[in-house]
Structure 1
């Protein structure tokens, strides 16, 4: 019929604390299934999970085989960060900069105050 089913892969998920979690997944399964297993094991909500493999973020709809993930691969788990706000613009000054007073060093300046 459909041919032999691919054997389940074992993936290792490294979390922020440095712990490694073993997860079983099918090569034709999607990333969302792996995230669901991580939620069951660690309690991290699926919406906050961000899985990284090979230096790129894995989308929940991607298939594991299409991402290039093979058996016993290590996937890194990080959390979705709040923010991403725009960079603040540099302040534009309307008036020119005030020139600071420069002091001249005059030797024995105290003598100028006295007349003999």
Structure 2
């Protein structure tokens, strides 16, 4: 069957094949686009490898569209807060402010504070903050001997 494939630059390339696998190999030979990155579309449906072109209704002189597969699509980060020993919070983690600096987990807006998710390193963080404030206050303290001389 003789038909055309419209490539990425808009040019129509002629082909004489009968199934999607053969078409993908022929396109890879002619355009140097790897088979994994090819996305063939005809009549608002994507052509799946292993099927014939006639199953999609491709007839003599038809034009099949060629596009590249989109990369990405990683799943959203979910809140790491455990509601009970078996269930986890199902809300999406808040970007940037939802990342706990103490335990390196991500949390939703409701559980993002260290006190809310009972961070295991919260007590050491509080002790360090207490020691820093204590040292700062002791450094700024007025000594009574200095007052006595004045």
Q: Is residue 43 from structure 1 mapped to residue 43 from structure 2 by the alignment?
A: no
Paired positions, count: 84
Normalization by structure 1: what TM-score? Answer: 0.64
- CA RMSD across the alignment: 1.8
The structural deviation recorded for 1:78 is 0.6
Q: Which has the higher strand share?
A: 1
SS of 2:66's partner is strand
The residue that corresponds to 1:63 in the other structure is 52
Q: Which has the higher helix share?
A: 2
CA contact (8 A) 2:3 2:14 kept: yes
- 1:16 pairs, out of 3, 8, 32, with 8
Distance 1:10 1:90, change over 3 A: same
SS of 2:53's partner is coil
Q: Is 55-64 or 82-91 further displaced after alignment?
A: 82-91
Aligned-partner Cα distance in 1 for 2:109–2:25: 53
Unaligned runs of 5+ in 1: 1-8, 95-116
The structural deviation recorded for 1:22 is 0.8
Normalization by structure 2: what TM-score? Answer: 0.50
Deviation track 1:17-59 (CA, whole Å, cap 9, x = no partner) reads 111111112xxx3201011111111111112111000011100
The structural deviation recorded for 1:93 is 4.0
SS of 1:65's partner is helix
The structural deviation recorded for 1:10 is 1.2
Question: Structure 1: which 4+ aligned runs deviate by more than 2 Å?
Answer: 86-94
